[in-house]
Amino acid sequence: KKKAKVAAKTANKKVESAAVLGAGIMGGGIAYQSASKGIPVVMKDINTAALDLGMNEAIKILNKGVQLGKLTADKMAKVVASITPSLDYSAVQHADLVVEAVVENPKVKDTVLQEVEGVISEDAILTSNTSTISIDLLAKNLKRPEQFCGMHFFNPVHKMPLVEVIRGEKTTDETVAATVAYASAMGKSAVVVKDCPGFYVNRVLFPYFRGFSLLLKDGADFRQIDKVMAGFGWPMGPAYLLDVVGIDTAYHCVDVLAAGFPDRMSAIEGDAVEVLFKADKYGQKSGSGFYTYE
Ligand code: NAD
């Protein structure tokens, strides 16, 4: 009876305030996108440096908008003011919907999801921006798996139109509907997909990265491959894209996909992503990956 009451509340849920956990490449982008569409957001991380990075990223995008005459300085100030950086959960508890966007590690995500579930209201929606980890796996230790689903944005969030909404085994229609509505309010197009490691887009993208790794093993040069793919008309080649995504994130995704699809996505010995990861070269975020950055 209580569950039915909560479900009814969730069904009518219009997301008027949100929270994002993790202020990295994705968390910062999600916070910016929500705030810029008028939905205030709390952005929580475990360290101040990360929060500053996330805020600065939003400010950079907004400044560009002001320079291009797309928004006024006044509007920019309003957007910045509607992102609340936080190091604890106190400001998160009032959120209608939470997007977890911490590192791609099931154990860390598990802890963070349980922590936040304990502080938000019982009709709030909890989502994960995981790239590859099964939603059912993440839902296992939650008290309200019916109010949990995947909400997978793409990088850079302010430019990429798509959001995958991933329905877990126990996710209710109400939760999916409210999450899709929030994605639309953020100016994104949502596609609702079933749960499995990698969901939809990354089951297409990571086999492409795998083909790239195999080509490197055959002796190809990554710069050459990037040039060829640019000539093919794609906005960037695989090496540059992996640097943008983050080598650490890609490495963990490869791991999850190899475990999920051992017949098709098994690990490649001496894989370039693994070599870079083990050398702490995480791509653009750390200053070097396949390429080096200022
Ligand atoms: P990132 O490394 O840029 O940021 C991760 C952030 O999480 C860091 O700021 C870190 O301090 C923070 N963090 C770690 N533990 C935390 C905790 N306990 N509580 C709060 N914050 C914590 O990573 P990212 O690229 O933003 O990826 C985040 C998630 O989004 C991952 O699940 C990733 O798979 C997914 N994702 C990434 C991309 C991409 O292209 N990078 C695209 C789609 C989805």
What DSSP element (H or E) covers 127?
strand 125-128
Q: Which atom of ligand 1 is nearest to the CA of 27?
A: 26
Q: Is residue 272 part of a domain?
A: yes
Q: Are residues 9 and 116 in the same domain?
A: yes
**Residue 3: its pLDDT value, please?**
66
Could you tell me if the ipTM is greater than 0.95?
Answer: yes
Atom of ligand 1 nearest to the CA of 249: 34
Predicted pLDDT of residue 2: 67
| pLDDT, tens only, 239-294 | 999 999 999 999 999 999 999 999 999 989 999 999 999 999 999 999 999 999 98
pLDDT at 57: 87
- Is residue 147, in this structure, part of any structural domain at all? yes
- What is the average pLDDT across 95-124? 97
Only one residue has tokens 């909400």, namely 151
* Ligand 1 center from residue 1 Cα (angstroms): 37
Please count the structural domains in the chain: 2
Query: What are the strands of the beta sheet with 83-86, ordered from one edge?
Result: 83-86, 41-44, 18-21, 97-100, 125-128, 148-152, 162-167, 189-194
Domain region containing 172: 2-194
Quick: pLDDT tens for 27-57.
999 999 999 999 999 999 999 999 999 999 8
pLDDT tens track for 169-206: 999 999 999 999 999 999 999 999 999 999 999 999 99
pLDDT value, residue 44: 97
Residue 152's pLDDT is what? 98
Residue 235 tokens, joined: 């906005």
Which atom of ligand 1 is least distant from the CA of 285?
3
Q: Looking at residue 218, which CATH number applies to its domain? A: 1.10.1040.50
CA–CA separation, 294 vs 107, rounded Å?
A: 33
Domain ends where: 194, 227, 257? 194
Q: Are strands 18-21 and 97-100 parallel, antiparallel or unpaired?
A: parallel
Asked whether residue 200 is domain-assigned, the answer is no
Last residue of a domain, one of 136, 167, 194: 194
Calculate helix-pair angle for 201-217, 238-245, nearest 10 degrees: 120
245 lines ligand 1 (CB under 6 A): yes
For 232-268, give one letter per residue: b (16+ CB within 10 A) or e: eeeeebbbbbbbebbbbbbbbbbbbbbebbeeebeeb
Q: Quick one: pLDDT at residue 140? A: 97
The CATH number given to whatever domain includes residue 54 is 3.40.50.720
Residue 39's contacts (CB-CB under 8 Å, 6 or more residues apart) are 15, 16, 17, 18, 82, 182, 185, 186
pLDDT at 6: 63
User: pLDDT at position 10, please?
Assistant: 64
Q: Which among 194, 214, 239 is the end of a domain?
A: 194
Q: For residues 239 and 212, give the distance between their C-alpha atoms in angstroms, rounded to a whole number.
A: 8
pLDDT digits (tens, 9 = 90+) for 134-169: 999 999 999 999 999 999 999 999 999 999 999 999
Give the residue, out of 47, 48, 103, 286, with the most ligand 1 atoms within 8 A of its beta carbon, to mutate for a pocket test: 103
Quick check: CB of 27 below 6 Å from ligand 1? yes
Predicted confidence at residue 11, as pLDDT, reads: 59
